[in-house]
Amino acid sequence: MPNLVIVGLQWGDEGKGKVVHHLSEKADYIIRYQGGNNAGHTVVFDNKTFVLHLIPSGILQKNKKCIIGNGVVVDPEALIEEIDFLQKKGITVKNRLFISSTCHVILPYHRLLDGIREKVQNIGTTKKGIGPAYADKYERSGMRMCDYIDEETFNEVLDKNLKEKKAVLESVCDISKLKSEIQGKRAILVDNIKEYVADTSLMINILIEKDKHIIFESAQGTLLDVDFGTYPYVTSSNPISGGVCAGCGVGPTKIDKVLGIVKAYTTRVGEGPFPTELKDSTGEYMRSKGKEFGATTGRPRRCGWLDLVALKYAIRLNGCNYMVLTKLDVLDDFEKIKICTGYKYNNEIFKDFPLSRKIIQNCSPIYIELPGWNQSIKGITEFKKLPENAKKYIKKIEQLTDVKIAVISNGRDKKETIVVDKNILK
Ligand code: GDP
Ligand code: IMO
Ligand code: MG
């Protein structure tokens, strides 16, 4: 199996967790390279449901090892909670999880700052402190895992940070109380985490030299990318495949393939432009049939038709070799299915994703219409057994994007998967 990046091609929640878990059967290591516990990756198998936020979905496969790369921001409390949750479910994490010593740590004040900024910015963040932790990293005042572990450095960085943020934090909390709380919790958190901490870039490069099979699991999606997403309504990291290099400390020559995950329709949670959004009963139907509620925050996800302008943009940015089409079953009951193939703004037609926020916020979608299949595809495990109109929908997406759909997902459970092209694993 090649070293594979698995990336979301929309606004997140494409079903990455399910796909990563499925494909990690064939992998040795599964690695997260960006984001934090803003992610919610759902995995369903053997009548069990797991939602993972920080730890790669491969942890649910026996004997697979997982790495949290330096590009991830780690909230120690959330991490311990997730490790405990897994251990209680009988999943051993010890000796199977490695965390970069240079990943940045999310501290309680980052969560507070996220809440304060949200009131002004209204991005609709998860309020997990992701943006403020990345902001500290780029402002060069962040707390890395190795700094957090070393008590002296920890105290120095904490002191400096709280002084710097005093004016803003003062309005929402008692700073000296906050400081002693952070200091008080640290020892126990460090005791629980330090056994997992490693030089993960060194590790990953050795693994690659030894021809180990690696899956890099993205969080969020391409349209939430801080550089290429619908700025400012984005997350604060680079979910695109290029994020792997900086987020893991591996060179681009070490990555073999990129697999993009795309939902058969589109969803978005939080604020921001969404040209194909359906604010009507069709959108509501998609939300209810697709159980489109945030895996992290429980918020209802906004729903709409598949957007090919955005999808082609995402394929280009990621250098996608193959796609996985998920949640096709959610479209089972439609007479007609629409695909957006262009945007219209001020009498101008856009076939390429517009970068101006004014255009993307105010454009209207141009649709083509395909006949629905109007029957359940549940339980189908072979492409040839799909209804003709479902095949036509899949072929149309392939034809318009020029990228092959190698896997189709037609249900939440691991078993509800149609592998069309086994080459993705070669
Ligand atoms: P992720 O963040 O990309 O891992 O996706 P989420 O787990 O946040 O959201 C995807 C949701 O869709 C989860 O509830 C999955 O269990 C569910 N899901 C995944 N694939 C399918 C599918 O093919 N059909 C249906 N009906 N649900 C799916
Ligand atoms: P997974 O990995 C969907 C969205 C938030 C908000 C924006 C910024 O499950 O696909 P943040 O807390 O990151 O600063 O919020 O990004 N967002 C996600 N939307 N899926 C996710 O992760 C998301 N993680 C963040 O809703 O709009
Ligand atoms: Mg999710």
**Out of 26-30, 325-329, 421-425, which region has the weakest mean confidence (pLDDT)?**
421-425
> pLDDT digits over 246-266, tens only?
999 999 999 999 999 999 999
Q: State whether 283 and 419 are in the same domain.
A: yes
150 assigned to active site: no
- What is the pLDDT averaged over residues 331-351? 98
Which of the ligands is closest to the CA of residue 129? 2
The reply to whether ligand 2 has any atom less than 6 angstroms from the CB of 223 is no
Q: Is the model's pLDDT at 18 over the cut of 80?
A: yes
Distance of CA 404 to the CA centre of its chain: 22
Question: What is the percent of the chain with per-residue pLDDT over 70, rounded to a whole number?
Answer: 100
Ligand 1 contacts CB of residue 401 (under 6 A): no
Whether residue 320 is found in the same domain as residue 367: yes
Q: Residues 356-394: pLDDT tens digits?
A: 999 999 999 999 999 999 999 999 999 999 999 999 999
| Atom of ligand 2 at shortest range from CA of 237 | 13
Contact in structure between 54 and 36 (CB atoms under 8 Å): yes
Same domain, 249 and 303: no
Q: Are residues 385 and 300 in the same domain?
A: yes
Neighbour tally for 272: CB within 10 Å: 22
pLDDT at residue 426 is higher than 80: no
The predicted structure's pLDDT at residue 295: 86
Own/partner pairs, 78-83, CB within 8 angstroms, 24+ separation? 78/36, 78/37, 78/53, 78/54, 78/106, 78/128, 79/37, 79/54, 79/55, 79/193, 80/189, 80/192, 80/193, 82/37, 82/52, 82/53, 82/54, 82/55, 83/55, 83/192
What is d(CA 101, CA 299) in angstroms, rounded to the nearest whole number?
33
For residue 222, which ligand has an atom nearest its CA? 2
Print the domain residue range for 149: 104-193
pLDDT in tens, 193-211: 999 999 999 999 999 999 9
Q: What is the mean pLDDT of the chain?
A: 97
Which of 114-118, 177-181, 422-426 has the weakest average pLDDT? 422-426
Do 183 and 268 belong together in one domain?
no
pLDDT of residue 120: 95
Residue 424 has a pLDDT of 76
pLDDT above 90 for 422: no
Q: Which of 236, 254, 272 is the endpoint of a domain? A: 254
Instruction: Mark whether 240 and 177 lie in a shared domain.
Output: no
Query: Domain of 236: which CATH number?
Result: 3.40.440.10
Tabulate helix, strand, coil % of the chain (nearest 5): 40, 20, 40
Closest by CA to 266, choosing from 13, 7, 2, is: 13
- Position 302 scores a pLDDT of 98
pTM over 0.75: yes
pLDDT at residue 423, as a whole number: 78
What is the model's pLDDT at position 2? 82
- Cβ density class 306-323: b for 16+ within 10 Å, e for less: bbbbbbbbbbebbbbbbb
pLDDT at 102: 98
**Quick check: 4 pLDDT over 80?**
yes
Bridge partners, residue 25, by sequence: none
Q: Which of 235, 254, 273 is where one domain is finished?
A: 254
Give the chain's length.
Answer: 426
**361 and 269 share a domain?**
yes
Separation of CA 123 and ligand 1 centre (Å):
23
**DSSP-derived 3-state class of residue 13:** coil
DSSP classification of residue 78: H
Instruction: Note whether 80 and 224 are same-domain residues.
Output: yes
Closest protein CA for atom 26 of ligand 1: 411
pLDDT at 403 over 80: yes
Q: Do 293 and 343 have their domain in common? A: yes
Among the three residues 193, 214, 230, which one is the final residue of a domain in this structure?
193
What phi, psi does 8 have (nearest 5°)? -80, 135
List, as ranges, residues with CB under 5 A of the ion ligand 3.
13, 40, 295
Give the number of domains in the chain. Answer: 3
Q: Do 90 and 119 fall into the same domain?
A: no
Let me know: does 37 contact 26? Beta carbons within 8 Å: no
Q: Confidence class of residue 62 from pLDDT cuts 50, 70 and 90?
A: very high
pLDDT per residue over 65-123, tens digit each? 999 999 999 999 999 999 999 999 999 999 999 999 999 999 999 999 999 999 999 99
* Domain identity same for 9 and 43: yes
- Per-residue tokens: 222: 């391409």
